[in-house]
Amino acid sequence: MSGCIEWTENIILLSDSYKVSHWKQYPAGTEYVYSYFESRGSDNVGWDSVCFFGLQYFMKRYLLGQVVTKEKIDEAAEIYAEHFGDGVTPNPGMFYREGWDYILAKHGGVLPIEIKAVPEGMVIPNKTVLFTMVNTDPKCFWLTNFLETLLVQVWYPMTVCSNSRFQKISIAKYLEATGLTDWAAPNGTAFKLHDFGYRGVSSVESAAIGGCAHLVNFLGTDTVAAMICASRYYGATKAAGGSVPASEHSTITSWGVDGECAAMKNMLEQYPTGIVACVSDSFDLFRACK
């Protein structure tokens, strides 16, 4: 494909294949399609609500401004013609080029879509509408659910945010039960569940939006992408999370078995004030503690 655009920047390619064909399937005379998103619930006992988060990222990242251009339409037309072909002959008739050309000509490439949502960070009962979407131009009725594929991905930050919230509730419960009331809610739990999720997820984007969702409930993170996401897409004017100097197995084991104590002493000398985190199980946890 000549002059290929970065495909994640082409909204016309950010959908399931079958949705490309849906413009032909609605009843004649259809003008508006109004869709909604909800959480269907959880199998975990007591998890009767969700903490809504993440929609703003997807809207700002993919939907705002002129997201449709002639170059993007051309690219999508070529890709879909091959995709729906028989392997020999392309099938250009499946892709609704006229519809996308109309959005470009009539709306300057801005999507004629209205989205309404509950405030992000709000705790909402399961099976409650979280956001709605409707086309604002009757000629673009097919566009509403074309965007479903992308926007349903809000399930991920919403799930992380909800899990994180329930973990925070559990932490506060046991801090109070063990008499550590100074560390209990509302502020003492802020650094009680540190996020090291950067390496444990599928992509940099997953780390950013999942890590940002965690910061709704906690302030401790080593996921740098989460802070960037909070700044660029949620208006954070300073670091949304904090961290401290910390060792890892390589920095401790490089001193050798007999040098573990010296490695820990070096940590204290290098960082004489504040908090440090030190790996203690490189060789023998109990010996290290001794």
Same structural domain, 133 and 176? no
Same structural domain, 195 and 101? no
Same structural domain, 213 and 143? no
Same structural domain, 38 and 93? yes
Same structural domain, 79 and 150? yes
CA angle 38, 42, 43 (to 5 degrees): 155
Q: Predicted confidence band at 43 (pLDDT cuts at 50, 70, 90)? A: confident
Same structural domain, 78 and 96? yes
Q: Predicted confidence band at 152 (pLDDT cuts at 50, 70, 90)? A: very high
Range of the domain at 108: 7-154
Report the domain count for the chain: 3
What's the rounded Cα separation, in Å, for the pair 231 and 229?
5
Domain boundary among 154, 185, 209: 154
Amino acid symbol at 49: S
- pLDDT value of position 264: 94
Is 240 within a domain? no
Same structural domain, 193 and 259? no
The enclosing domain of 107 has a CATH number of: 3.20.140.10
Same structural domain, 76 and 214? no
Is 84 within a domain? yes
Q: Predicted confidence band at 185 (pLDDT cuts at 50, 70, 90)? A: low
The residue-averaged pLDDT of 15-27 equals 97
pLDDT in tens, 167-178: 999 998 888 888
- pLDDT value of position 179: 80
pLDDT in tens, 196-244: 999 999 999 999 999 999 999 999 999 999 999 999 999 999 999 999 9
Is 32 within a domain? yes
Q: Predicted confidence band at 62 (pLDDT cuts at 50, 70, 90)? A: very high
Amino acid symbol at 145: N
Model pTM score: 0.90
What's the rounded Cα separation, in Å, for the pair 284 and 261?
12
